Amino acid sequence: MTLDDLGPRICVMGPSNSGKSTLTTAIARARGLTPLHLDLLYHIPNTDWQPRPVEEFVELHDEALSGTSWIIDGNYSICLPQRLARATGLILLDASIATSLLRYLRRSWFERDRVGGLEGGMDSVKWSMIWHIAVATRRTRRCHVEMFVHISLPKIRLSTAREITRFYQSEGLG
């Protein structure tokens, strides 16, 4: 399966800090798709990642899906059914916990203007996020893999940093 097989509306899912926003931006640039980052729809700009009211998030989410071509990253299961109903393809990043933790620390300490970063927000190391990546995400990972198996959309699963790197290279994503 290649990127071309996924069509004009692609969902990118995976655990926190697995590289979803970075991949989404690279694909959007290479394929001329509109990049949509769910974290930016879910959180209020110029805050420390404060969530919006759920109704407001769902409205922004559904409005974003109305376009004819896009690539959207994030999980947010509250809106997953409508996202998958509009999608033409799916990419699941299944990076390891160690990879996700290292990416989280790197972006919190060294990346100020990162892809998918909240406007006016500051990334900082938070114990709650470390716990989320190391503990809570285990169940979510299992759910994503099970869901992936049953979804009938064209799909790609990338489970290691090496597979992700090869995908970038083979698809000319730079």
- Give every CB contact of residue 106 below 8 A, 6+ residues apart in sequence: none
- The rounded distance, in Å, linking the Cα atoms of 103 and 157 is 19
Q: Which two tokens stand for residue 33?
A: 């798709």
Task: Return the pLDDT at 110.
Answer: 72
Over residues 52-70, the mean pLDDT reads: 96
Over residues 138-142, the mean pLDDT reads: 82
Q: Which two tokens stand for residue 89?
A: 């393809």
Phi, psi of 8 (to 5 degrees): -90, -5
Query: How much is the pTM?
Result: 0.86
- Stronger pLDDT, 30 or 134, i.e. the higher one: 30
**Strand 70-73 versus strand 89-93 pairing type:** unpaired
- The rounded distance, in Å, linking the Cα atoms of 62 and 105 is 32
- For residue 34, the surrounding DSSP H or E stretch is strand 34-37
Name the residue range of residue 29's domain.
3-170
Give the SS3 label for residue 140.
Answer: helix
Task: Return the pLDDT at 112.
Answer: 67
Give the SS3 label for residue 90.
Answer: strand
- The rounded distance, in Å, linking the Cα atoms of 104 and 87 is 28
DSSP code per residue over 58-79:
HHHHHHHTTSSSEEEE---GGG
Convert the pLDDT of each residue in 100-136 to its tens digit. 888 778 877 776 665 666 565 666 777 887 888 888 8
Total of domains in the chain: 1
- Give every CB contact of residue 139 below 8 A, 6+ residues apart in sequence: none
| CATH number, residue 100 | 3.40.50.300
